[in-house]
């Protein structure tokens, strides 16, 4: 299977060469070196350029489980505090991106016991405007919501479809190609990476292979709005992006591939993702389907006191829509569904989550106030007296440059 995955990766790379040329789009997985207006420095000889950004998310969250016990929780904390630096050295063809995280919940500490401060440390070589490669630690070309920056989300958190099945960050080599067939842009990406995520120190002989394709049949979004939730650009004509891909993580030693606890017996995880986003005159809709397969999802953690553990096997669907009102207010709704595989019916329940959101954008996604409410339903029983269901709410302020 590893050999087949290698040929799949090679095939994706070769496929890129048959697409016609067009101008490359800016993405969160590319260094920001054009049209940046924040804190920046250029050397007198113009051979060195860097810019600095920071952002923070301060949060107050409440969750009430309807079993009448002490399962209720209050979360008051800094959810994210990040510093990012982008730039180039000697030539814009050689660019870089570094992103650091300074809060415990943003460092993968609970699963690994290590404060993983470095989120991104990646070097890009831009062969042309439409073809570049990256080498280092960065987001893999996975599902749309994961690749979209957490600072560009319209809810305080990504959906549980993403949290259960995403492939996150990894160290490796990624090829990025943006081309055009007629008036339709096509974005294509392929990556080969370690498969163990940010914490990996040494690499075994099992790698992860990931590919993604995107089609924009109605043309480009304003300011790359296909990777920003909500129609803040107020698209004057309908815009649509359809994407999908596949990841084959061969013999990973972590519960979720690039995330989760370390396991005694390696998993081989196969993840499929399909997504779409549509925007028009303040209205936005997006949907995301993810599915993960693994032959035997059950395992044990490593260490002196091994514990039973399992990989999430099954599928999920997330849908959300929003409308931008006057004066920067946005209303949004989200429905998420998770269906665990039959093998996990003793340890995982079917989940439905309904969420409502009200956001006030002061400076687009750079300064916003978010108020979310949610109702979590387990085992398909929507009644308000089902003891495993829960009500929750979140207030969050995002500030950054």
* DSSP letters for 11-53: HHHHHHTTSPB-PPPP-TTS---SS--SEEEE-TTSSEEEEEE
Mean pLDDT of 50-70: 90
Q: Read off the pLDDT band of 37 (50, 70, 90).
A: confident
pLDDT more than 90, % of the chain: 79
Q: Is 180 exposed, middle or buried (0-12, 13-18, 19+ CB in 10 A)?
A: middle
**Residue 198 placed within a domain:** yes
Of 63, 77, 130, 110, nearest in space to 373 by CA:
63
Distance separating alpha carbons of residues 287 and 310, to the nearest angstrom: 27
Q: Read off the pLDDT band of 17 (50, 70, 90).
A: very low
- pLDDT at position 10 is 43
Dig out the tokens for 167 from the structure.
């492939």
**Residue 262 placed within a domain:** yes
- pLDDT at position 5 is 47
Of 324, 319, 242, nearest in space to 283 by CA:
324
DSSP 3-state of 355: strand
Asked if 243 and 212 touch (Cβ cutoff 8 Å), the reply is yes
Dig out the tokens for 7 from the structure.
């040929």
- pLDDT at position 112 is 83
**Residue 111 placed within a domain:** yes
Asked if 50 and 23 touch (Cβ cutoff 8 Å), the reply is no
The lowest-confidence range among 7-16, 146-155, 238-247, 249-258 is: 7-16
**Residue 398 placed within a domain:** no
Dig out the tokens for 239 from the structure.
């815009």
Q: Read off the pLDDT band of 20 (50, 70, 90).
A: very low
For residue 292, the enclosing domain spans: 2-55+83-314
- pLDDT at position 174 is 97
The count of domains in the chain is 1
Its pTM surpasses 0.75? yes
Of 372, 370, 377, nearest in space to 393 by CA:
372
- pLDDT tens for 340-370 read 999 999 999 999 999 999 999 999 999 999 9
Query: Which residues are within 8 A (CB) of 135 and not within 5 positions of it... i.e. 6 or more apart?
Result: 122, 123, 125, 172, 173, 174
Dig out the tokens for 388 from the structure.
């495993």
**Residue 396 placed within a domain:** no
| Measured CA distances, 29 to 32, 42, 228, 294 (Å) | 9, 22, 13, 28
**pLDDT above 60 for 16:** no
- Reduced 3-state DSSP string for 280-303: ECCEEEEEEEEEEECCCCEEEECC
Distance separating alpha carbons of residues 321 and 232, to the nearest angstrom: 13
**Residue 155 placed within a domain:** yes
**Residue 76 placed within a domain:** no
**pLDDT above 70 for 204:** yes
- pLDDT at position 36 is 79
- pLDDT tens for 298-347 read 999 998 889 999 999 999 999 999 999 999 999 999 999 999 999 999 99
**pLDDT above 80 for 8:** no
Strands 314-324 and 308-310, by their bridges, are unpaired
φ, ψ of residue 222 in degrees (nearest 5):
-65, 135
- pLDDT at position 200 is 77
**Residue 64 placed within a domain:** no
**pLDDT above 90 for 24:** no
The lowest-confidence range among 68-77, 246-255, 298-307 is: 68-77
């Amino acid at each position: 299977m590893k050999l087949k995955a290698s040929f799949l990766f090679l095939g994706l790379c070769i496929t890129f060469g048959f697409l016609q040329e067009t101008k490359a789009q800016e993405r969160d997985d590319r260094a920001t070196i054009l049209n940046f207006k924040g804190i920046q420095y250029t050397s007198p000889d113009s051979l060195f350029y860097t810019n600095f950004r920071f952002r923070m998310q301060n949060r107050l969250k409440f969750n009430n489980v309807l079993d009448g016990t002490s399962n209720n929780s209050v979360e008051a904390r800094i959810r994210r505090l990040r510093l990012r630096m982008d730039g180039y050295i000697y030539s814009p063809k050689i660019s870089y991106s570094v992103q650091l995280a300074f809060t415990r919940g943003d460092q993968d500490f609970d699963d690994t016991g290590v404060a993983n401060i470095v989120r991104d440390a990646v070097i890009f070589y831009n062969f042309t405007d439409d073809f570049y490669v990256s080498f280092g630690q960065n987001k893999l070309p996975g599902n749309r919501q994961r690749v979209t920056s957490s600072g560009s989300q319209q809810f305080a958190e990504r959906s549980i479809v993403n949290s259960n099945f995403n492939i996150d960050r990894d160290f490796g080599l990624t090829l990025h190609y943006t081309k055009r067939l007629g008036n339709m842009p096509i974005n294509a990406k392929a990556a080969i990476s370690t498969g163990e995520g940010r914490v990996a120190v040494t690499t075994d002989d099992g790698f992860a292979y990931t590919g993604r394709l995107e089609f924009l049949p109605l043309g480009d979004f304003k300011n790359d709005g296909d990777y920003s939730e909500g129609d803040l650009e107020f698209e004057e004509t309908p815009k649509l992006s359809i994407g999908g891909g596949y990841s084959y993580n061969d013999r990973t030693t972590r519960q979720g591939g690039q995330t989760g606890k370390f396991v005694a017996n390696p998993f081989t995880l196969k993840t499929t993702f399909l997504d779409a986003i549509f925007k028009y005159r303040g209205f936005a809709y997006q949907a995301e389907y993810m599915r993960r397969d693994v032959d035997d999802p059950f395992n044990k953690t490593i260490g002196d006191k091994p514990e039973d553990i399992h990989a999430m096997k099954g599928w999920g669907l997330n849908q959300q829509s929003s409308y931008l009102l006057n004066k920067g207010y946005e209303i949004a709704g989200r429905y998420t569904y998770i269906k665990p595989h039959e093998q996990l019916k003793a340890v995982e329940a079917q989940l439905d989550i309904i969420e409502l959101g009200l956001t006030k954008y002061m400076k687009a996604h750079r300064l916003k106030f978010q108020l979310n409410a949610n109702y979590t339903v387990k085992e398909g029983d929507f009644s308000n007296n089902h003891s495993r269901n829960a009500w929750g709410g979140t207030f969050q302020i995002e500030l950054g440059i």
